[in-house]
Amino acid sequence: MIGVLKKIWHFAGEEQGNIRKSMILGFFYAVFHMFQIAAIYVVVLALVGGSTDPAPAWQALGLLLASILGRAVLNRFSQLQQTHAGYFMVANKRISIGDKLKRVPMGYFNDQSLGELTGITTTVLDEVESTGPMVLVGILGGLINSAVMLLCILFWDWRIGLLALAGMLVYLALLSGMEKQSAKIAPKRQRDEARLVEAVLEQLQGMSVIKSFNLTGKGDKRVRQALEDSRANNLAVEKLFTPYIWGQEMVLHLFSVLILAASVGLCLTGAMSLANALMAVIVSFLIFSQIQSAGSGVSALRLVGSSIDHANQVDDIPEMDQRGTVIRPEDHEIVFDHVNFSYGSRPILKDVSLTIPDRTTTAIVGPSGSGKTTLCNLIARFWDVDGGRVTIGGRDVREYTLESLMEQVSMVFQRVYLFADTVENNIKFGCPDATHEQVVEVAKKACCHDFISALPDGYNTVIGEGGATLSGGEKQRISIARCLLKDAPIVIFDEATANVDPENEDQLQRAMEALTREKTVLMIAHRLKTVRGADQILVLDQGSVVQKGTHDELIQQAGIYRDFVSERTESSRWTL
């Protein structure tokens, strides 16, 4: 238990001060709680002594009022400190996870499930937020109250005090056994809760596929299994705890009866005064309720500790080397120098050497899986190379700080992601300090001003998550406007026109031309119109550059590029 308490304390980080304040307030709360016992003692002494003086009644009333008011005030401030600590220590962890994920290789997201991270940042950390500080302060508060009451009983009669102490120790022994059993099942429970979130998220994301194949009610096997695992584990936790909880209840009742019998026996033999005997019985019930309160916190303690362990697993994700310097190169020539790269044990790029001159356009073509996207991603250092090096302006990309590297590169992806925010804020994503006039200017250059103006609230229209309320071409043009505003010297197009309808293609082409003026451009393209005008065409196959040259040069050579052109020319003649 001590280890888990230390774990929560360490996890609190900057919020340790608020938890410490809550503990101090909890101590004074226990002091005001003792005013109740003092009030009862005053009344018992008066009754046993046969006094008819109203003074004891007024004294008891004053003590009770002081106890109620003091506890109310202290509880309010203690709860505020606990709530603040719980919310912000988890908020800080979520921010830390977000910052961490910016520094890990993109390959991690191919191997790890989005649902796992979602489960950690929601369900797992919610457990810590709502329970962590409350459990920590609650357990310590219950133990402080119990210790103070035990001292009172020992003051009245050491034999009754030892009996109460024995009851507490037996109760804590059972509690310790339950806590150890909980340690075996809590991690699995947390994993299953995260897998449930993962399965539900996957189900929602794939709902269109499930419906299109008429698998409603059939294609949710994984979700049903995750729900069943969650149900089984929660029931297992309850079944595991039930005998211990029953035993704890029996121990407290048994020792309450023993204390009652012992107090009566000692009183009858004259070894204990009637007032002290009555107080010992009353306080024994109160002390056991306090130790029970602390025990209920311990039963949740292991789950909180397991949640913290689960959340801290993100800290073990390997990061790319972040040591670098701020570099702003004079030119933006890109060089691949004998580059090798693999996804795990699967080689993708093999001894690739090539040069993309400054302020030129290079097109990359090749069959699916040849390494085109990987080559582009290595420039932006989404991954680190296994061998060789990638340079921009003569400097290895690993020498740049992440921020200064990304200042040099803008990327337009085939699958554009827009945030659930206004159109203007989506365009300003790469340049938050831009003015509205600057946003409108780049929107016009990207050929998206007209359709944005036609939206219900223009640039202040909130679009759906992922840009669900816009067409593919509209999202692409907003993405280009975003890159125009960023104005990076290197622009990478990853099949940006692959899924655009013909009506939007001309506008998108003009937007791309506006974006690429005086830039170093690298584009992956499947359309002949996009490739033909490139200064240089690179043909990749099975991770190697197999052809290189201009369109006019490559069309004269037998190989992949001439086949590519022939297929595109033939398909352009198709009619319906």
Residue range 334-572 in CATH 3.30.450.40: no
Band (pLDDT 50/70/90 cuts) for residue 110 is low
Q: What is the pLDDT of residues 309-365, one digit of tens each?
A: 878 888 887 777 667 788 888 889 999 999 999 987 888 999 999 999 998 889 998
Torsion angle defined by CA atoms of residues 483, 487, 489 and 491, in that order, rounded to the nearest 10 degrees: 10
Strands 409-412 and 490-494: parallel
Q: Look at residue 576 in the predicted model and tell me its pLDDT.
A: 47
Mean pLDDT value across residues 258-263: 87
- Indicate the burial class of 148 (C-beta count within 10 angstroms; 0-12, 13-18, 19 or more): middle
Q: Look at residue 570 in the predicted model and tell me its pLDDT.
A: 63
Mean pLDDT value across residues 520-537: 81
Q: Which helix (H) or strand (E) holds 397?
A: none
Mean pLDDT value across residues 281-299: 74
The CATH class given to the 2-316 domain equals: mainly alpha
Q: Structural domain boundaries of the chain? A: 2-316, 334-572
Instruction: Out of 9-18, 213-222, 243-252, 545-554, pick the least confident.
Output: 213-222
Band (pLDDT 50/70/90 cuts) for residue 562 is confident
Residue 500 has pLDDT above 60, yes or no: no
Average pLDDT, the chain: 80
Q: Distance (Å, rounded) from C-alpha 266 to C-alpha 94?
A: 59
Sequence-distant (≥ 6) Cβ neighbours of residue 366 within 8 angstroms: 372, 539, 540, 541, 560
Per-residue CA distances from 161 to 51, 224, 420 (Å): 28, 54, 63
Q: What is the pLDDT of residues 71-99, one digit of tens each?
A: 889 888 888 888 888 888 888 888 888 88
Most confident range (mean pLDDT) of 4-8, 25-29, 293-297 is 25-29
Provide, rounded to the nearest whole percent, the portion of the chain with pLDDT above 70. 84
Band (pLDDT 50/70/90 cuts) for residue 114 is low
Residue 213 has pLDDT above 60, yes or no: no
Strands 544-549 and 409-412: unpaired
Residue 140 has pLDDT above 50, yes or no: yes
Residue 41 has pLDDT above 90, yes or no: no
Angle, alpha carbons 206-207-210 (nearest 5°): 90
Most confident range (mean pLDDT) of 82-96, 105-119, 175-189, 220-234 is 82-96
Mean pLDDT value across residues 391-415: 87
Mean pLDDT value across residues 170-199: 73
Q: State which amino acid sits at residue 527.
A: R
Q: Look at residue 69 in the predicted model and tell me its pLDDT.
A: 93
Q: Look at residue 334 in the predicted model and tell me its pLDDT.
A: 94
Comparing CA positions, the residue from 530, 545, 499 lying closest to residue 349 is: 545
Q: Look at residue 122 in the predicted model and tell me its pLDDT.
A: 78
Q: Look at residue 111 in the predicted model and tell me its pLDDT.
A: 44
Mean pLDDT value across residues 496-504: 56
Q: Look at residue 242 in the predicted model and tell me its pLDDT.
A: 79
Bigger pLDDT: 170 vs 302: 170
Q: What is the pLDDT of residues 439-471, one digit of tens each?
A: 998 888 888 888 899 888 899 988 876 566 687
Bigger pLDDT: 528 vs 382: 382
Residue 481 has pLDDT above 70, yes or no: yes
Provide, rounded to the nearest whole percent, the portion of the chain with pLDDT above 90. 9
Q: Look at residue 220 in the predicted model and tell me its pLDDT.
A: 66
